[in-house]
Structure 1
Amino acid sequence: MSYQPLLDYIKKHVDLTPEEKAILLSKIIDRRYLKNQYIVQQGDICKTINFIIAGCTKMFYVDEEGQEHIIMFSVEDWWSSDLGSFITQTPADFNIQCLENTQLIQFSYDHLEVLYKEVPKLERLFRKITERAFVASQKRVVRNFSLSAKEQYVTFRNTYPKIEQRVPQYMIASYLGITKEFLSKIKSQLIQDQ
């Protein structure tokens, strides 16, 4: 597996010396998951933070009635993890499941702590990743409260055009908090509006 996508991602945020890159690469785990495999399941402790080299995942919550609520999709060059569980090392609130065969670079909690000490620049990088995740989560909450379902769908489609082509419509509906039938109506309206 090529680690270059991860190194390119990191380079956008911090410059590593060759020695620091070597330390970083000594602490990573590369994993391949098959479509439908779980990276983490609700109730288990999330032991890794995951950078996607290839593939697509969904993060979701299953309520007491067994209803699935999709929180996020992740594709290449994105991170996928139950951050709350990973940071606190407590049981996960969310499941992360592969929607395609997926290749990941993983950092275990213990290895990341070592990297923070040995390569302090990486602590800054992961702080930025966490900040971005927090901001994205807040923006999503505001969109859920302030936009109509149609506006949310248009925003999703414009923001994540590659994802819509890769995941089933019922999952997009779940992400938007609507039924797949209502999503079909919205899509029909948008075609008529053109």
Structure 2
Amino acid sequence: MDTANSHLAVVQPLLDYFDTLLPLNKEERELVITKFHPHLYRKRQYALQHGDVCQHFHFVVRGCLRLYKVDHEGAVHVLQFATENYWIIDLTSFHRTKPSVLNIDALEDTVVLRIAYKDLIDLYVNAPKFDRIFRVLMENHFMQQQERIAQLFSSTAEERYQSFLEDYPHLLNRISQVQIASYLGVTPEFLSRVRSRRSKGSKENP
């Protein structure tokens, strides 16, 4: 397979994703192929580190990235997981070009398509359809984050775990219990008890 065809094969999932939102014409597809660049992050490799400026908007083709913050006591708080066909970014750092207080790293070997800020603006200018597409993406992201914040304040650990299973059913056997607990805001030991109670409940109510 030549380089052009190889690049197209990697970009195809993103083209398919955009087509589900607003079908692209030939020129718009060419812009995507030109502006988005494939990149491989090895397991445990950073895509963004605290103190650096977020340079790219990432679309995950294969693998898993996590967005997280480390508090003053060294505890890790996972804000988001991004697997196939998910986006991940520190929006504040990316758009304001200011040092990030967050980290993004790979929980698996992960292939992404990433776009730099300048290329994203060029995309908006040359094809206004992408302005609408990314506005929808940002609105969806904002709504998801609001729901997540509300859950952290008002839901039980069992309810948050159920939401995790609904949002990330494909992740249950791909990431550790420690990662899941960090996302839910509980200790791994507490999560283990939650899972044990659910398991006993399902056996008692077949």
Fold-level similarity (TM above 0.5)? yes
Alignment partner, residue 161 of structure 1: 169
Q: For the residues of structure 2 that align with 1:93 and 1:174, how far apart are their CA atoms? A: 17
SS of equivalent residue, structure 2 residue 149: helix
Alignment pair present for 1:132 and 2:134: no
Alignment partner, residue 197 of structure 2: 189
- Superposition misfits of 4+ residues, deviation over 6 angstroms: none
Contact map agreement 2:15 2:32 (CA 8 A) in 1: no
Alignment partner, residue 92 of structure 2: 84
SS of equivalent residue, structure 1 residue 58: strand
Identify which of 112, 117, 120 aligns with 1:109.
Answer: 117
Alignment partner, residue 22 of structure 2: 14
Alignment partner, residue 3 of structure 2: none
Q: Name the amino acid aligned to 2:172.
A: E
Alignment deviations for residues 118-177 of structure 1 (CA, whole Å, 9 cap, x no partner) = 011011111111111100000001111121111111121122111122110011001111
SS of equivalent residue, structure 1 residue 12: helix
SS of equivalent residue, structure 2 residue 138: helix
Residue 24 of structure 1 deviates from its aligned partner by 2.2
Residue 192 of structure 1 deviates from its aligned partner by 1.2
Q: For the residues of structure 2 that align with 1:134 and 1:87, how far apart are their CA atoms? A: 15
Q: Name the amino acid aligned to 1:142.
A: A
Q: Name the amino acid aligned to 1:13.
A: L
SS of equivalent residue, structure 2 residue 27: helix
Alignment partner, residue 142 of structure 1: 150
Identify which of 21, 26, 34 aligns with 2:42.
Answer: 34
Between 32-41 and 87-96, the greater mean CA deviation after superposition: 87-96
Q: Name the amino acid aligned to 1:110.
A: K
Q: Name the amino acid aligned to 1:147.
A: S
Alignment deviations for residues 11-58 of structure 1 (CA, whole Å, 9 cap, x no partner) = 111122101211221111110110000001111100100000000011
| TM-score normalized by the length of structure 2 | 0.91
Q: For the residues of structure 1 that align with 2:70 and 2:164, how far apart are their CA atoms? A: 22
Between 31-40 and 8-17, the greater mean CA deviation after superposition: 8-17
- How many percent of aligned residue pairs carry the same amino acid? 38
Residue 93 of structure 1 deviates from its aligned partner by 2.1
Alignment partner, residue 123 of structure 1: 131
| TM-score normalized by the length of structure 1 | 0.97
Identify which of 52, 77, 87 aligns with 1:44.
Answer: 52
Q: For the residues of structure 1 that align with 2:170 and 2:13, how far apart are their CA atoms? A: 18
Residue 10 of structure 1 deviates from its aligned partner by 0.3
Number of residue pairs matched by the alignment: 194
SS of equivalent residue, structure 1 residue 92: coil
